[in-house]
Structure 1
Amino acid sequence: MQQLLERERELAVVDELLERGGSVVVEGRAGIGKTALLDAACQRADGVGREVLRARGSELEAGFAFGVVRQLFERRLVSAEETERATLLTGSAGAVRSLLLGEPVESSAFDTSFAVLHGLYWLTVNLADGRPVLIAVDDAHWTDEPSLRWLAHLAPRLDGPAVALLVALRPSQTGGSLQALLDEAQTVARPELLSETAVGAIVRGMLGSGAGSQLCAAAWAASGGNPLYVTELLRAARSGGRPLAELDPAELMAGGREGVARRVLAGVRGLHPGALLFAQALAVLGDGCELRHAAALAGVEVADAISLAAALVRLEVLAADDPPRFVHPVVREAVGASLASDARDALHRSAARLLHADRAPPGQVAAHLLAVRPVGDACVVDRLREAARAAIRDGAPAAAAALLSRALSEPPSPGQRVAVLREAARAEAAAGREAACVHLEEALALAADPLKRGEIALEVAETYAGLFRWVEAVDVLERALTELGEADDELAARLEGELVVCGLHDARRASRVAPVLERLSSRSLSDRAVEAQAVAKGMAMLLGGRPAAEAARPLEEMLSRAAAPVENWDTRAALMWTLVAAERFNSVETALGPMIAEVHRSGSARGFVAVYSSLGLLKLRLGALPEADAAARVALRVLQEGDFAPGLAFAATVLADVAIEAGDLDAAQALMGLLPQGGWPAGVGTVLIPAARARLRLAQGRPADALADFEECSRMFSAEVWGTEMRDVGYLHARSGAAQALLRLGDRESAVSTARDELADVRVFGAPRALGIASRATGLAEGGGRGLELLHESVASLRESPALLELAHSLTELGAALRRAGQRNAAGEPLGEGLELAVRCGARRLAARAREELRATGARPRRAWRTGVEALTPSELRVVRLAIDGATNREIAHQLYVTLKTVEGHLSRAYTKLGIKGRAELPGVLEPEKTRVPTP
């Protein structure tokens, strides 16, 4: 291995990486020695027993989805024995079978990127189980976007020695995933230019000790201290034929990249008449290409290509590797730059035809077509569409969208354009991009047939809904229904079904729902339209404050008949949230099991969001805070990975409520910071934001601010805004919250009036959890004997519900009210039970309040725990519960969609708080039945 001069600091970083694991990025200009550092790291890793997986980005493959990931893992998996391969792809890692092995997939989901990212993480972990791994990626600035996104996903998740990630890249101003990788890396090393002394050592190493100081100084000045340029300058001078020691220092001054290009091209031209074209073919095909492909592209026999490759190795243009590789990207760039634009275009087209004929992966073929000028070639469009389908299958919708955008620029024939637009829209929608709607609107404008226009309009609306743009969805559907008329009842029913669900999500279009819902009732409906109709009816009744049983009935009936796969996850999410609000907890829990299994099979990002946000809300309402936290975090991660920012409220508000109950107000504030701070249109999703913020402000001791937010919720949920009857009964409880804020502000009269209004509506609604909350708020507002009666009623109602956290709140408030009324003996029992339930739920803030009240009665409750179960955060408690159930760290990480590092951290902190040494002692300090909230 060549000696690396003035790189002691960087080599120390490498040694630490190989010892401790983690992630390091080496950032530096071309020629600074990044590749040499990676070479040294790989040799050292091999020497200490690490398995080395290495890849290199290239300009050509930047458009080949997961090209770098394939370099890292594909050959390793294919060469593995069948039993080892099965082990490597166990669990969540199975999501990458299609990507890395080409196995067919059953899923028709377009949005599998989250499952693939998670699967690649677990493949890495599984590989490192048998032997520690070094993942080394050179020239990451040319890495394809999906691979780069995975590297940024992986970097912060590495802890411990098992996996080491080393990435080299040039400085870039592009931001995006490249900047995310830099931000997430645990260490960033930036090698500096070499000193004059170091350059002199290189010169004397090549020329001998007789090289004069003037020559060394000239080499340093000409190269600027760039190691590659120093070497190339001396190689260029050596090719002149004179002894290097006799060179005039002035001859070295024309250095830099231009000097490298001149040296390389002059040398290649001097080899053989066909050498330059062969080198250009290698540059076009990229490092690691098949020699036979380069031969065919250059029009030479394979035997001649072998001889030319050997000559290029001797000339130090190619490395002595098989398959062929240029010694440095700068050298490859110099050869590629020697091609005129028309010649380069022709070679890329020929390369695409050659690779397609040889059954190369579609993405590899498309990488060449992305480099050619659009000329209206139908074959180019076909190849790009094939590559886009492969990218979608492999979990790279953004890459598919880029390929289809290029196909549209070719352009396709008029007869093909609508189809390509629809494909591009699906890819953009799966990536969470609003460009999807632009493509579909164009497709809609181009389609002439009314039925085709109706089908496209439905797709446009579903895309708008997927981006949480309900108003645009309704408007498109209304226009389509007008155009369709009576031409197709089935299609009309599907359009109307989508319209009623979308319309009920946003107040600005809610008034359009009732007449459409009436028409739907008279139609013969498909299963999909039946689900939409049932959801719309249930939502309308719930939002109108009708009895919970009445609102839930059509949804439960529909759910009992629903078959897999789920066709529309947005509609299914609305169904589940409506049933949770109607307190049909058992129905929701039963239905979620098969849905979770389905999203794990399909990898659908929309499915993950729908299922895990619903599960998070369910567990929050039940008071199972650790489970609510775990589920909502999965939904939040998927939303953030997919850029579905408008949907963040469905997960972030659940997490904020969990944090408030756990007493972590800073975490709650940070979660609310992810969401818009004002200017929300009135809708069932947007109204969650001021409601959660109000609860946080109440917990922070800011009742006036809380009241303003609760009043905003009531305004957003009013009949005046929605144009139809609205009653907030089981959804937000904004009036109960407002009554608490008014009470703290000293306005008891307004508090009583506000709480009574909600209680009256909730009595009609008839669900025990909602009744318990409203009775509690009214009892606190009323005070006195009537207040105690209502608090007793609240406790009685909640004993009919599995919502144990709300029961704990009401027991605590009842005990506190009894104490204030001078009934200290009677107060002890509800306060003690409230404390026990609060601890079981993980509600540390409520537990502290119950303990304080118990002390005020003269009781001596156990002191607040800084150790023990009460000290555990919801996330820690969830992990502990799974460990008690016998799950391994790996199984816990798979189930919660977190890393092993996260699980190990939670358990380590839990052991410390519980005063134990390991998981074997967990059952002894946490009795299982006392650490969990029963579910219905």
Structure 2
Amino acid sequence: MLRFGSPGAPLGTAALDTSAADGRAPARGGRSGDRAERSGDRGGRARAPFASPDGTAAPPLHGPLLTYRQVVGSASVTRPTLLSVDDADRADLESIRALVRLMRTRHDLPVLLALGWRDREEQAAPVEWATRSTLEVLRPRPLSGPGVATVVRRVAGTAVEPGFQAGCLAATGGIPSLVTGLVAGLGELRLPLTGAGLEAASGGDIPVFGTRVRRLLHGQSPVAVRAAQAMAVLGDGTATTTGAGLARVETTAFTRSLRRLEAVGLARASAADTWSLAHPAVRHAVLTGTPSRTRTDLHGRAARLLHDSGAPAADIAGHLLASPAVAREPWARALLREEARTALLHGAAEHAVRLLRSCVPPGREDTCDPVLVMELGIAESRVDAESGIGHLTSVLDRLPGPDLRLTALSALVGALTRTGRTGRAAQLLAAQDTGSPSGRARLQLLEADMLLAATDNREAYTDLLEGVSLRLDLPGTTAEERALLAGRAFIAVSRGERLPQALSAADRVLLSGTPLTDSPVSLAAAAAALAYADRPADAAHVYRQLLEGADAVPDHLRAGLLALDGEAAQRLGRIDLALRSTAQALGSTPGARVTHHQTLALAVRLHALLDRGDVVSADALAGTVPPDAIDDAWQWSEYLAARGRLRLAQDDPVAAVADLTECGRRQELWQRTNPAASPWWYWAGHAHLAAGDPAEAGRLATRAVDLAHSADFPVALGTALELLASAGGERGRLQILEDAESVLAQSGAALSLARTRVARGRALLRAGHVGPARKVLRRGWDESHALGAHALHDEAHGLLLSAGARPRRAASRGAGELTRSEKQVARLAAAGRTNLQIAEALFVTRRTVELHLTSVYRKLGLSGRKELRSALGRPRGGADAAPARRER
């Protein structure tokens, strides 16, 4: 390589290099790229444009230029020569002209002059040569997917999947140096070159890639750097005006800078005049390269900018958390407090604590607004009870007004109770002034809160029940009285004590209370008392009313309502509704992170899947729950009951007995001795039968029969009689099963009735009564088909075949059996209308629409709305042609 000139020489900053060339496109400075545009003669061999653009004759050469021409001439005699200027955009026009004139006299030499420059806001001098007929213009293009694959194969020696190619292109814009940096960075992190590997690294700094992004960025203009930093702070979808305001540049300059960033693969245009950085990894690299003080300042200014433009509070809060000084300004504190209230409403207590903690500096709580400290304590009581108790205690006497003190006291009593300090909670209650009606009402509400909080801690629950009154004779004329009555009624029914008084109290709560005047917690507790007294239909009606007004219900309470709604539906045999409700309650929460409210939904969903006969899905769901997630809450005992039933369905009676026995132990500790509160004993009895222990099964059945008979709980009594018949000998079995069927026929528990009929048909068949067996089995077969209980339907089908019957299709459930109202609702639903739209069109409530649709699904043997169109299009009685067995 021959080098001529230096920084300060007549050629300015241009570096003039000559090197041997073999006729191929030059490779200096990275990939040569595709030819995007060519002009002039495209002849075979490389040549230089030595004519002056203005057509004037070249002046004679003297001094260094003459010497340089001689050197180039000598070198090019033996081999082709490349004359490369890779930063011509920094050279002055006269320097470039002198270089061109230098070679003008030697057209016969194989010399290629290559001028490389970057586009700038003002066109550089070399652009004027782009119009000459002897010049070829090469515009490097980004790599494509195959190009990425080629680079990766050369760098890493391995092929890559299409997912990585797409992700790599998104992260690098196809810029070769960024592609190789990304591959090297993932290698350092020991991550595979896959889409999943790239996604796993996107949240942090990718070593080599991040360095190259920052180097590429800081090679741009200061305006472009500020634009990138503004977009990194604001995030994806940055509006041009907002980004320009944060970067403190004119909108046109901001847009021009973004176009430049887009050209080098760091940014991309989005819809509606918005911009984003190319990839989360690029954003992280830009943020990492931004000085911390600058970053903090940008977040603070972004918060104010977004606030003034009317952006959602959730978008502003994140910036305030990253700028503590701004977060303590009055406008910011007000916004953070409001956003914290919203977070608590949605069950995000940890986020609420972070928001409020930024308003209350540690160690300065005494100088802060006591109401603000109270709000922090309430949020902390959900995630860090000790901190919450400390903050609530410190401000209890400084709060203005009785309502605020009641709010703080309620949260404090709840936190103390949940942590097992019921004695201190009781002292706070005893210290309340009860000389006035308002004082008595506050005490009743606090006691109700304490009862509710105790259901999260078994030891606190046990201690509390030993020391508090469970009087059920309150009239229920105020919301506070109803809240206390509901909690007491729920506990009494769970324990199976004073049932007439408890159910009367629950009825008074639901008769006088409304979702507008009463807490959804107290109304749900009263409804649960009815469900645990074998009145699931009444309970389901209340749950639906509360869910329809769920806008005012916090998300974690809504999950509890959905779980209870699913439980009532499962008890009634409405399998599809149970699955829908529990799916909504669980959402996308993994099994390891379910709340106590969601744990009940998890248990109900397992039961519903097993009712349907979907053992595979039930096993997969149970597999999401690690053993260490199961704590002492009563909801987990219900999960153990459902998992024990699953093990029984998997022909593992030993594991089933273990789970169900542990469930029974926990139920006793929680004093949930009412057989209608949980069916664990029923499945435990069948597990003992499968394990060869009919005596224990008989003991469980006898106890349940006695308790259910004395309490007049028909579902519990009917299922207990069915278990007793299975555990006893042949003598008397048929009569017991007939009694069970008779009891269940009046209960509304359709699935329990169908299960008992199949059991009775099996017993009749075993006793040789083939004709009666066929009749009973056929009814159980029809009912299980209508309910979607596939496993029970298949069992009945097999027994019918054993009885010599040839069942070919399910009982007629055609559209002809629908009522006029059901047909109207079904047609509108099949047309795609929502429940609310149907209700408005027919001038009925959403609850009425839901009841009609449930009846339609049952009569037509459908699993949901998607099947309505084809079902209604069948000829009359067309449902009869449906196969007896569903495809699964």
| Both structures adopt the same fold (TM-score exceeding 0.5) | yes
1:5 corresponds to 2:143: yes
Q: How far apart, CA to CA, are the structure 2 residues paired with 1:915 and 1:767? A: 36
By how many angstroms is 1:513 displaced?
3.9
Q: How far apart, CA to CA, are the structure 2 residues paired with 1:396 and 1:350? A: 30
By how many angstroms is 1:420 displaced?
3.5
What SS does structure 2 have at the residue aligned with 1:728? Answer: coil
Any stretches of 5+ residues in structure 2 without a counterpart?
1-35, 37-139, 150-162, 177-184, 815-822, 838-845, 851-859
What SS does structure 2 have at the residue aligned with 1:746? Answer: coil
Structure 1 pair 893/666, CA: closer, same or farther in 2 (3 Å)? farther
Q: How far apart, CA to CA, are the structure 2 residues paired with 1:361 and 1:554? A: 45
Q: How does 1:194-213 map to 2 (within 5 A)?
A: none
Residue number in structure 2 paired with 1:446: 394
Residue number in structure 1 paired with 2:690: 744
* Contact 2:558-2:585 within 8 A present in 1 as well: yes
Q: Determine which of 590, 606, 613 is the counterpart of 1:663.
A: 613
Q: How far apart, CA to CA, are the structure 1 residues paired with 2:453 and 2:347? A: 28
Structure 1 pair 694/547, CA: closer, same or farther in 2 (3 Å)? farther
Residue number in structure 2 paired with 1:790: 736
Q: How does 1:846-865 map to 2 (within 5 A)?
A: 846-862=792-808
What SS does structure 2 have at the residue aligned with 1:687? Answer: helix
Q: State the AA in 2 paired with 1:840.
A: A
Which range moved further: 758-767 or 696-705? Answer: 696-705
1:597 corresponds to 2:735: no
Q: How far apart, CA to CA, are the structure 2 residues paired with 1:929 and 1:423? A: 59
Q: Determine which of 763, 769, 779 is the counterpart of 1:817.
A: 763
What SS does structure 1 have at the residue aligned with 2:549? Answer: helix
1:925 corresponds to 2:878: yes
Q: How far apart, CA to CA, are the structure 2 residues paired with 1:441 and 1:368? A: 29
Residue number in structure 2 paired with 1:529: 480
1:704 corresponds to 2:844: no
Q: How far apart, CA to CA, are the structure 1 residues paired with 2:195 and 2:525? A: 39
Q: How far apart, CA to CA, are the structure 2 residues paired with 1:436 and 1:567? A: 28
* Contact 2:638-2:678 within 8 A present in 1 as well: yes
* Contact 1:376-1:411 within 8 A present in 2 as well: no
By how many angstroms is 1:655 displaced?
1.3
Residue number in structure 1 paired with 2:411: 459
Residue number in structure 1 paired with 2:355: 403
Which range moved further: 331-340 or 732-741? Answer: 331-340
* Contact 2:686-2:723 within 8 A present in 1 as well: yes
Q: How far apart, CA to CA, are the structure 1 residues paired with 2:772 and 2:482? A: 50
Residue number in structure 2 paired with 1:260: 216
Which range moved further: 690-699 or 385-394? Answer: 385-394
Q: State the AA in 2 paired with 1:405.
A: R
1:27 corresponds to 2:174: no
Which range moved further: 676-685 or 828-837? Answer: 676-685
Structure 1 pair 801/927, CA: closer, same or farther in 2 (3 Å)? farther
Q: How does 1:342-421 map to 2 (within 5 A)?
A: 345=296, 349=300, 352=303, 356=307, 362=313, 366-374=317-325, 377-379=328-330, 382=333, 385=336, 388=339, 392=343, 397=348, 401-409=353-361, 414-416=366-368, 418-421=370-373
1:553 corresponds to 2:496: no
By how many angstroms is 1:313 displaced?
7.4
Q: How does 1:770-849 map to 2 (within 5 A)?
A: 770-849=716-795
Structure 1 pair 414/788, CA: closer, same or farther in 2 (3 Å)? same
Q: How far apart, CA to CA, are the structure 2 residues paired with 1:439 and 1:881? A: 57
By how many angstroms is 1:802 displaced?
0.9
What SS does structure 2 have at the residue aligned with 1:648? Answer: helix
Q: Determine which of 680, 703, 718 is the counterpart of 1:757.
A: 703
* Contact 1:374-1:411 within 8 A present in 2 as well: no
Q: How far apart, CA to CA, are the structure 2 residues paired with 1:418 and 1:859? A: 77
* Contact 1:649-1:685 within 8 A present in 2 as well: yes
Q: Determine which of 712, 725, 729 is the counterpart of 2:675.
A: 729
Q: How far apart, CA to CA, are the structure 2 residues paired with 1:499 and 1:930? A: 55
Structure 1 pair 459/864, CA: closer, same or farther in 2 (3 Å)? same
Relative contact order, higher structure (CA 8 A, sep 6+): 1
Structure 1 pair 490/641, CA: closer, same or farther in 2 (3 Å)? farther
By how many angstroms is 1:700 displaced?
2.2
What SS does structure 2 have at the residue aligned with 1:518? Answer: coil
Structure 1 pair 658/394, CA: closer, same or farther in 2 (3 Å)? closer
Which range moved further: 661-670 or 487-496? Answer: 487-496
1:649 corresponds to 2:789: no
By how many angstroms is 1:665 displaced?
1.3
Residue number in structure 2 paired with 1:585: 536
Q: State the AA in 1 paired with 2:686.
A: Q
Q: How far apart, CA to CA, are the structure 1 residues paired with 2:165 and 2:300? A: 35
Q: How far apart, CA to CA, are the structure 2 residues paired with 1:572 and 1:564? A: 8
* Contact 2:645-2:656 within 8 A present in 1 as well: yes
By how many angstroms is 1:395 displaced?
6.5
Larger radius of gyration: 2
TM-score, normalised to structure 1, is 0.60
Per-residue Cα deviation, 1:828-880 (whole angstroms, up to 9, x for no partner): 22111111111111111112222222233333333899xx999xxxxxxxxx9
* Contact 1:500-1:532 within 8 A present in 2 as well: no
Structure 1 pair 765/416, CA: closer, same or farther in 2 (3 Å)? same
Q: State the AA in 2 paired with 1:32.
A: T
Q: How far apart, CA to CA, are the structure 1 residues paired with 2:675 and 2:632? A: 17
Q: State the AA in 2 paired with 1:443.
A: H
TM-score, normalised to structure 2, is 0.63
* Contact 2:485-2:509 within 8 A present in 1 as well: yes
Structure 1 pair 445/921, CA: closer, same or farther in 2 (3 Å)? same
Residue number in structure 2 paired with 1:891: 834
* Contact 1:707-1:738 within 8 A present in 2 as well: yes
* Contact 1:727-1:761 within 8 A present in 2 as well: no
* Contact 1:374-1:410 within 8 A present in 2 as well: no
Q: Determine which of 449, 454, 459 is the counterpart of 1:498.
A: 449
Q: Determine which of 394, 408, 425 is the counterpart of 1:477.
A: 425
Residue number in structure 1 paired with 2:469: 518
* Contact 2:566-2:582 within 8 A present in 1 as well: yes
Task: Please state which structure has a larger fraction of its residues in helix.
Answer: 1
**Number of matched pairs:** 677
Q: State the AA in 2 paired with 1:926.
A: A
Per-residue Cα deviation, 1:275-314 (whole angstroms, up to 9, x for no partner): 999998898778846769967986xxx9xx4686588579
* Contact 1:672-1:693 within 8 A present in 2 as well: yes
* Contact 2:520-2:546 within 8 A present in 1 as well: no
Cα RMSD of the aligned pairs, angstroms, is 5.5
Residue number in structure 2 paired with 1:66: none
Identity rate, percent:
21
Q: How far apart, CA to CA, are the structure 2 residues paired with 1:694 and 1:641? A: 17
Per-residue Cα deviation, 1:500-550 (whole angstroms, up to 9, x for no partner): 234356542333344665287698978443233222332233233247554
Any stretches of 5+ residues in structure 1 without a counterpart?
12-22, 37-169, 192-222, 230-254, 270-274, 871-879, 898-906, 932-936
By how many angstroms is 1:797 displaced?
0.5
Residue number in structure 1 paired with 2:83: none
Q: State the AA in 2 paired with 1:886.
A: A
